[in-house]
Structures are given as structure tokens and as C-alpha cells.
Amino acid sequence: MNTPFVLQKLGYSAQNEPIIGGALIFLIAGLSIGYLAFVRNEMNAGIVLKVGSVLLLAFAALALFWPQRPWPH
Amino acid sequence: MTLTTEPDTEGLEIEADTTVGGYEATQRKRWPRYLAHAILIIAVFVFVSPFVWAFFTSLKPESEIFATIYQIIPSEPTAENYVQVWNEQPLDRWVMNSLIISTGIVFFTVLLDTLAGYALAKGRFRGRGITLTLVIGTLVIPPQVVLVPLFLEMNWLGWGNTYWAIMILFIANPFGTFMMRQFFMTIPDSLLDAARIDGCNTFEIYTRIMLPMAKPALASLTVFTFIFAWGAFLWPLIIVNDGAMFPLQVGIALLTGPYTSNWGQLLAAAIMAAVPVLTAYLLAQQTFMEGIALSGGGKGQ
């Protein structure tokens, strides 16, 4: 399995499939922002950064367990 | 000729006149402000009125939209357009696609632009000037010019119909690199020298000194990029041809049919599409303003 094929598979998901690529993006962004917000004190993170990181992780779970409302509905 | 110690009242009279005149001058100075406010109010009306019209029209039943087109506020507001568009279109998937694409673009843009801006502002390496010139040079290339070559390239990579293909055009935009570079230029070198004496290496200076100091600029870059990515239309329209992968803007645009369109649903979807952008702006409004002030006028201060 070559690299472009794996990336293609990760980056595409059909209508009623879990969105793996999206979950990956949300997970990376959520963990990075969470690290800055909760671990690094020098960032002096506000509520937006903290809630944002949790929200991104929630979106990652949502994308992973997609679809909640299969099409056609 | 007589010498006198009497005060020169003539001069005072002139002063008094000037004072009276000064009052008039103050009155005159107010006019530019009134004019500016009048222009601003007209501009606000021009920009806000379509949004207000779209919002109120989305609350009208489909049959009344064109029958009562001059009656802005609906007599019997209803949410049926919102319910119908949610039930009849895969709007949840389009919203999710837009969120994925926007999050990816914002995250990688902020990461790469801060790194590049830091290197171009504080790095000492051969070719820094020409690199900066090239980065700024790419600002003048219209994105439409690269669409066809990029489309061919994405298909050659096998990335057609993927999130990566949509995101890659917008990641690491030169505007963000330039903006972050301008911001990092305002941070004094003595701070970096102090950090280096304390044992920080170049990357630690970036994470521990530069990033925390750049929070206002990061916030404004995030909001700028999010608004831009959320509204992206042309490139996703070209590179994606599967309805499941449409971002919201492309999905909404394709709700219009060749012969007839459901305008109520279209406007309801458009209003829903505007909500995340408004939320992002309102959440980061203060830091957004600070970021513009810091990155725009910091270097000259």
C-alpha cells in the first residue's frame, strides 16, 4: 500500500462512513491546543483556548462515530 | 513716547476674539466627525441590510417570499425553512466538512506561519532577504492562476475528492507569514538574548517566549484565516465532485436549480453558514483588534 493511497483513503469518506481524516485533524488540533492551554503556564490561556481544545476533541469523537443521522434521512 | 506699565488691553481683546473664534473653530472641527459618522452609518446600512433582509426572509414561508418582497419583517414568522433544509439536505455533513477543512487550515496555517515568521524576523541565515522577497512575491499571484496546475497535481497525487486537496491551497499563506514576521520584529532582541543565557535553544525561545507574546497576533491570524477558510468556494468546487465531501458553501451554492430554486431554504442555510464566523469574531473581538493594532503599526512605534 503506497503513501498516496493511504492518504487518499484517510482524506475521503463516503456519505455514511466515519470521517477518519477529519477525526485525525480535530485530534491533532485539539491535543496541541490543549497542551498549550492546560500544560504550558506561560501561555496564560483564557477560557476560549481551554474550551476550544475540549470542543475540538469532542468534534474528533463526533467525526469518528459519524454518521449520527445516516443519509437519506 | 511715554513708558507705561499698563497692560496692553488691545492684545487681550484680540485674545478674547480669538477665543470666540476658537469656539467657532471647535464647531467647525466637529463637522468632519459628523461626516465620518454619516459615512460609517451609510456603510453599516449597506453591509448589514442584506444580512438582515436574508434573515427575515428566511423566516417567511416559501409562497410569501416574492409576494411580500418589500415587506421586510414577516407578518407570521416561521422556522419551517430551517427545519426543511436540515431534513431534506445533508447539511450536517456539509457543516462537518467545513469545520474539518477550516480547523485544518487554521491549525497548520498558524503553526507554519509563526515558524516562518519567527525565522524571517529573528533568524540569521544566508538567503533570508530573498526568502522574504519570495514570500511577499507570492502575495501578488492571484490564486485563480494556480488552480489548473494544482488540480492536475492533486489528481496526479491521487488526492482528488479529499480534505487534503482542499486544505493544501490555503495552508501557510504568505499574508500570515508576513503578518507574524512583522509582529516578531517588534519583540526586542535583548529578550531573546536573556532567554538564551537562561539556557533556551532556538525552538524553546519560539515556544516559551515568542508564542505567548504573540497571543493577540495569533488570535487575529486565527480569526482572519477561519473566516477566509469558512468562505472558501472556488477551489473546493473544482477539486471535489462528491456530494459527501462538499463544504457548506459549495453545498449551499448547488441548492439552486437550473429552473427553480427553494429560496427560503437557501437563505436559511446561508444564515446558518454565517453563524460560526460571527461567533468566532465575537469571541475573539478584543484580541482581534489588539492583533491588528500590534501587527499593523508595531514596527514603526
Q: Evaluate whether residue A69 is within a structural domain.
A: no
Q: Evaluate whether residue A47 is within a structural domain.
A: yes
Single pTM value for the model: 0.83
Q: Give percent above pLDDT 90 in chain B.
A: 46
Model confidence at B24, pLDDT cuts 50, 70, 90, reads low
Q: Evaluate whether residue B203 is within a structural domain.
A: yes
Q: Give percent above pLDDT 70 in chain B.
A: 86
Q: Higher confidence at residue B28 or residue B161?
A: B161
Minimum Cα–Cα distance from B93: chain A residue: A15
**For residue range B155-192, what is the model confidence (pLDDT) as tens digits?**
998 888 999 999 998 987 898 999 999 999 999 999 99
**Does B297 have pLDDT greater than 50?**
no
Q: Which residue, among A10, A15, A25, A32, would best test binding to B if mutated, counting the most B CBs under 10 Å from its CB?
A: A25
Tell whether B274 and B153 lie within a shared domain.
yes
Computed over every residue of chain A, the mean pLDDT equals 89
Tell me if B251 sits within 8 A of B116, measured CB to CB: no
Tell whether B51 and B91 lie within a shared domain.
no
Q: What is the pLDDT of residue B26?
A: 57
**Which of A19-28, B23-32, B87-96, B111-120 comes out lowest in average pLDDT?**
B23-32
Read off the pLDDT of each residue in B8-35 and give the average, rounded to a whole number.
60
Tell whether B18 and B162 lie within a shared domain.
no
Q: Evaluate whether residue B17 is within a structural domain.
A: yes
The C-alpha torsion from B99 through B296 and B211 to A20, rounded to 10°, is 10
Read off the pLDDT of each residue in B121-144 and give the average, rounded to a whole number.
90
Q: What is the pLDDT of residue B29?
A: 75
**Does B273 have pLDDT greater than 50?**
yes
Range of the domain at A49: 18-64
Q: Evaluate whether residue B76 is within a structural domain.
A: no
Q: How far is B163 from chain A (nearest CA, A)?
A: 5
Model confidence at B219, pLDDT cuts 50, 70, 90, reads confident
The answer, for A32 touching chain B at a CB cutoff of 8 Å, is yes
Tell whether B155 and B239 lie within a shared domain.
yes
Q: Evaluate whether residue B300 is within a structural domain.
A: no
Q: Which residue, among B85, B86, B96, would best test binding to A if mutated, counting the most A CBs under 10 Å from its CB?
A: B96
Q: How far is A27 from chain B (nearest CA, A)?
A: 10
The answer, for A55 touching chain B at a CB cutoff of 8 Å, is no
Tell whether B272 and B161 lie within a shared domain.
yes
Tell whether B46 and B166 lie within a shared domain.
no
Tell whether B199 and B280 lie within a shared domain.
yes
Q: Evaluate whether residue B73 is within a structural domain.
A: no
SS3 sequence, chain B? Answer: CCCCCCCCHHHHHHHHHHHHHHHHHHHHHHHHHHHHHHHHHHHHHHHHHHHHHHHHHHCCCHHHCCCCCCCCCCCCCCCHHHHHHHHHCCHHHHHHHHHHHHHHHHHHHHHHHHHHHHHHHHCCCCCHHHHHHHHHHHHHCCHHHHHHHHHHHHHHHCCCCCHHHHHHCCCCCHHHHHHHHHHHHCCCHHHHHHHHHCCCCHHHHHHHHHHHHCHHHHHHHHHHHHHHHHCCCHHHHHHCCCHHHCCHHHHHHCCCCCCCCCHHHHHHHHHHHHHHHHHHHHHCHHHHHHHHHHHHHCCCC
Q: Give percent above pLDDT 90 in chain A.
A: 55
Q: Evaluate whether residue B2 is within a structural domain.
A: no
**Does A1 have pLDDT greater than 60?**
no
Partner residue facing B87 (CB), from A29, A32, A73: A73
**Does B271 have pLDDT greater than 70?**
yes
**Does B16 have pLDDT greater than 50?**
no
Q: What is the pLDDT of residue B298?
A: 44
- Please give the tally of structural domains in chain B: 2
Range of the domain at B44: 9-58
Q: What distance in Å separates the CA atoms of residue B54 and residue B72, rounded to the nearest whole number?
A: 9
Q: Evaluate whether residue B139 is within a structural domain.
A: yes
Q: Evaluate whether residue A30 is within a structural domain.
A: yes
Q: Evaluate whether residue B254 is within a structural domain.
A: yes
Q: Evaluate whether residue A2 is within a structural domain.
A: no
Tell whether B51 and B179 lie within a shared domain.
no
Q: Evaluate whether residue A51 is within a structural domain.
A: yes
Tell whether B27 and B165 lie within a shared domain.
no
**For residue range B40-88, what is the model confidence (pLDDT) as tens digits?**
999 999 999 999 999 999 999 888 888 877 888 888 888 999 999 999 8
Computed over every residue of chain B, the mean pLDDT equals 85
- Please give the tally of structural domains in chain A: 1
Assign residue B142 the CATH number of its domain.
1.10.3720.10
The domain boundary residue, chosen from B58, B73, B91: B58
Tell whether B51 and B88 lie within a shared domain.
no
Tell whether B259 and B203 lie within a shared domain.
yes
Most confident segment among A3-7, A30-34, B20-24, B260-264? A30-34
Model confidence at B5, pLDDT cuts 50, 70, 90, reads low
Model confidence at B14, pLDDT cuts 50, 70, 90, reads very low
Model confidence at B111, pLDDT cuts 50, 70, 90, reads very high
Q: Higher confidence at residue B13 or residue B30?
A: B30
